Amino acid sequence: MVQARQDLEQFFYPDGVAILGRVDRDADGEALLAEYRERYGTDRVYLVNPKGGAVGTVPVYESVVDIPDPVALAIINVGPQFCAGALEECGRKGIAYALIFTAGFSEIGPEGAALERELAAVARVQGIRVFGPNTNTNAFERMPDVPGLRGGKIGLLTQSGHNGRPVVQGSGFGVGFSRWVPTGNEVDLEAADFLEYFAYDNETAVIAGYFEGFKDPAKLRLALEAANANGKPIVALKIGSTAAGSRMASSHTGHLTGGDAVVDGLFAQHGVTRVRDLDELLETSALFAKLPAGTGPNVCLYSISGGSGTLMAEMAETVGVPTPALSEATQTSLHELIPTYLAVANPVDNGGQFLGAPQEQRLRALELIAGDPAVDVIVVGITGALGQMTDNFGADLLEFAPRSAKPVVVTWNSPKTDEQGFADLVASGAPLFRTFRNCFGALRAYADYQQRAQGFRVRAPNTPPAQEQAAADAAFGAPGALGASAARTLLEAFGLPLVREELVTRGDDAAAAGGQIGWPVVMKVASPDFPHKSDAGLVRLDVASSEEASRVYDELVERAHAVDASATVEGVVVQQQVGDGIEMIVGATLDPVLGPAVLVGTGGIFAEVLDDVAVRPLPVDADDAREMIRGLRGHALLAGARGRPPADEEALVQVILGIARLCEAAKTRLVELDLNPVLVGPSGATVVDWLVVPGGAGGIVHP
């Protein structure tokens, strides 16, 4: 595999390094240079400090411009107020890369943020690629060697230097790492750059990341696509959330895409496994690195006790890891080794005492399990340190796991690790977990990744045709809120199947409109000041006659003024009352980082209560839309629950794609949009109610 990011290859393997900052004048200069040469992989290392002089026989240059030879990388560790000047000198020297160790920038507040902006400006002018600031030199640290490493290595990427250290220390559990990259404040080079680097790195089998945020969604997509194309699984611990949920109280979509649901959607599109803590990041990444590609999902549980087996089985079932019964032949053979009063169907309980038998017999039990055609993976659960028993178990796995026809995964649940059995488990190279929860969660994640990998693809942009783009430009071309008529025109231009309706301003007109549309009808106040009309009692269903329509018109307008005397009331919408259908919600939101995203969920007035939604950032395709729909808890309703006919899912797919094209056409001019409910019947879908939140206009429109 060719390393596509040759620029970062030059960063990691520089031809000459300048160290700018404090100099220990009492140090052994030659020893200091030897340490730097080892770390940066080059014989040409130069010390720089404004005071000049020397450390022993090693010269200290007053400025990088005084260095007589070309230099590719500068390591800058001076006061934050001096970093921009140091970077400017590096530019005059022709240095291509700078790692800025110094802290005291945007992480401390406005004053530091101003210094960081100055740093970025100098970097752009001087054409220097900057790593940091507020980082360290761990990107050049030699990763610990793991004797007898089994499986591939993990490329670790963190936006917190400290939180990367406990992950790298997983080498003590037999986990190998290719490199650890802590990106700091990312004034220039960012996480996505190194994600792409790892995607092409021959030394990296799995990418693990601790992320606090993302900067460039297009660059991030490119990196994720590269990882997918090169078969590099990504395991991510993503903290923090967007402001989508708190920004807009008027929109269902704004609430339902709160937190970082849009990030979850992006991860789903690219098969990124999301974890929630550092232990899970380490152990899940290690499992991905150690299991052979294509390993199936079926697990056999093997332990010392029935209680442990039961707990393992319950946890496996909870997360959906299949534990099929072993064949009758396998069970019969196992009972030739293990007493018949112990269960061996799956879980397999060896009863503990069996571990005192000769090792040949103990290994035979493992071989029988591995030979069963129903088994893809053997999970060995060791819940407590039991002296000779667990020492023997560890010795068995040390001998068996490296040669087993089926992968062996082990949990050591005891906090007591000063045991020979534990040391043997580490030496066996088997994926090692400290909890059943992490073990079975990782196995489920691995199976999910294998399934998603079959559908990895580069998605085409949701580019609208010219007439749709023109409609969006016309709708959002003027400042202020869209009127009801303009909103309807916009949505219909994108092929959205809106319910038949008419806006009226008198009771007599309401009666006439109802007669034309056909009784019964729905009547609702038309006002941008009431985004959720049902909550305010401003919607009436089953209006069945001219007389009733005229009366309801007056009642609704009176009710609106009573609820909010200052509200703008445009009139009343008389709307076709659509028959039966499954109520869904389709929406759009503008994520502050990842941009436009679409949402689909179980809809109606309880959409936020049900919180059954799927979100994907653009671009999305028809397969994304189908996956979103079929991943909902409410999908059973669409599929035809309790004797109902199946709903027209493909009609709902087309509604989602229409909204995606609208998002692409509008870009930042559309902040949020709700279609709720969208009634999906056996044939077709109808949008009954909608809300549009234009960007920057501060207005909403709701029929």
pLDDT digits (tens, 9 = 90+) for 352-366: 999 999 999 999 999
Max Cα-Cα span within the chain: 103
Q: Would 404 be classed as within a structural domain?
A: yes
Instruction: Give the E-state strand segments of 43-184 in sequence order.
Output: 45-48, 54-55, 58-61, 73-77, 97-100, 129-131, 154-158, 177-182
Residue 601 and residue 666 in contact, taking contact as beta carbons nearer than 8 Å:
no
- pLDDT in the model for residue 592: 87
The mean predicted confidence, pLDDT, of the chain is 92
The fraction of the chain above a pLDDT of 90, given in percent, is 84
481 pLDDT band (50/70/90 cuts)?
low
Report d(CA 332, CA 365) in Å as an integer.
11
Q: Are residues 588 and 572 in the same domain?
A: no
For every residue of 282-317, DSSP letters joined together read HHHHHHHHHSPTT--S-EEEEES-HHHHHHHHHHHH
- pLDDT in the model for residue 241: 55
Which of 163-167, 243-247, 525-529 shows the highest mean pLDDT?
A: 163-167
- pLDDT in the model for residue 580: 82
- Among the listed ranges 254-263, 321-330, 524-533, 584-593, which one has the minimum average pLDDT value? 254-263
Q: Would 159 be classed as within a structural domain?
A: yes
Q: Would 293 be classed as within a structural domain?
A: no
571 sits in the region (left: phi over 0; alpha: psi -120 to 50; else beta) called left
Q: Name the one residue in this structure whose structure tokens are 């611990």.
A: 237
- pLDDT in the model for residue 160: 83
Q: Are residues 224 and 254 in the same domain?
A: yes
Q: What is the mean pLDDT of residues 193-212?
A: 97
- pLDDT in the model for residue 429: 96
- pLDDT in the model for residue 322: 98
**Which is nearest to 587 in space by CA: 491, 459, 469?**
491
Dihedral over Cα of 434, 435, 440, 445: its sign? negative
The fraction of the chain above a pLDDT of 70, given in percent, is 95
Q: Are residues 491 and 624 in the same domain?
A: yes
Q: Is the confidence at residue 244, as pLDDT, over 80?
A: no
Q: Are residues 627 and 556 in the same domain?
A: no
Taking each helix axis from N to C end, the angle separating 649-666 and 466-475, rounded to the nearest 10 degrees, works out to: 60
Looking at 518, 549, 577, the residue that finishes a domain is: 577
Q: Is the confidence at residue 535, as pLDDT, over 90?
A: no
- pLDDT in the model for residue 698: 42
Instruction: Give the other-Cβ count within 10 Å of 171's Cβ.
Output: 17
Instruction: Give the other-Cβ count within 10 Å of 661's Cβ.
Output: 20
Q: What is the mean pLDDT of residues 207-232?
A: 96
Q: Is the confidence at residue 67, as pLDDT, over 70?
A: yes
Q: Would 435 be classed as within a structural domain?
A: no
Q: Are residues 281 and 311 in the same domain?
A: no
Q: What is the mean pLDDT of residues 45-61?
A: 95
245 pLDDT band (50/70/90 cuts)?
very low
Q: What are phi and psi of 675, to 5 degrees?
A: -115, 105
- pLDDT in the model for residue 579: 80
Q: Would 616 be classed as within a structural domain?
A: yes
Q: Are residues 587 and 468 in the same domain?
A: yes
Q: Degrees (nearest 5) of the Cα angle 303, 318, 453?
A: 100
Report d(CA 422, CA 400) in Å as an integer.
15
Q: What is the mean pLDDT of residues 529-546?
A: 90
Looking at 230, 252, 285, the residue that finishes a domain is: 285
How does pLDDT run across 418-437, given as a tens digit for each residue? 999 999 999 999 999 999 99
Q: Would 88 be classed as within a structural domain?
A: yes
- pLDDT in the model for residue 253: 47
Q: What is the mean pLDDT of residues 449-473?
A: 97
Q: Are residues 82 and 175 in the same domain?
A: no
Q: Would 448 be classed as within a structural domain?
A: no
CATH at 624:
3.30.470.20
- Among the listed ranges 209-218, 373-382, 478-487, which one has the minimum average pLDDT value? 478-487
CATH at 153:
3.40.50.261
- Among the listed ranges 12-16, 50-54, 105-109, 604-608, which one has the minimum average pLDDT value? 604-608
Residue 67 and residue 91 in contact, taking contact as beta carbons nearer than 8 Å:
no
What H or E segment, with its residue span, contains residue 220?
helix 217-229
CATH at 62:
3.40.50.720
Report d(CA 664, CA 469) in Å as an integer.
9
Q: Are residues 419 and 342 in the same domain?
A: yes
Looking at 104, 131, 158, the residue that finishes a domain is: 131
- Joined together, the tokens standing for residue 120 give 């970025």
- pLDDT in the model for residue 693: 84
Q: Are residues 600 and 464 in the same domain?
A: yes
- Among the listed ranges 252-266, 324-338, 437-451, 629-643, which one has the minimum average pLDDT value? 252-266
How does pLDDT run across 129-141, given as a tens digit for each residue? 999 999 999 999 9
Residue 274 and residue 317 in contact, taking contact as beta carbons nearer than 8 Å:
no
Q: Is the confidence at residue 248, as pLDDT, over 50?
A: no
- Joined together, the tokens standing for residue 401 give 């796991």
Q: Are residues 657 and 573 in the same domain?
A: no
Domain that holds residue 590: 459-498+579-703
Q: Is the confidence at residue 208, as pLDDT, over 70?
A: yes
Q: Are residues 155 and 280 in the same domain?
A: yes
Residue 115 and residue 83 in contact, taking contact as beta carbons nearer than 8 Å:
yes
State the pTM of this model: 0.90
- Among the listed ranges 24-38, 241-255, 486-500, which one has the minimum average pLDDT value? 241-255
**Which is nearest to 422 in space by CA: 408, 437, 432, 407?**
432
Q: What is the mean pLDDT of residues 109-137?
A: 95
SS3 129: strand
Q: Would 62 be classed as within a structural domain?
A: yes
Q: Are residues 123 and 183 in the same domain?
A: no
Instruction: Give the E-state strand segments of 270-416 in sequence order.
Output: 273-275, 299-303, 348-349, 377-382, 408-412
Q: Is the confidence at residue 656, as pLDDT, over 90?
A: yes
- Among the listed ranges 243-252, 289-298, 475-484, which one has the minimum average pLDDT value? 243-252
Count of domains for the chain? 5
641 pLDDT band (50/70/90 cuts)?
confident
How does pLDDT run across 258-302, given as a tens digit for each residue? 568 999 999 999 999 999 999 999 999 999 999 999 999 999 999
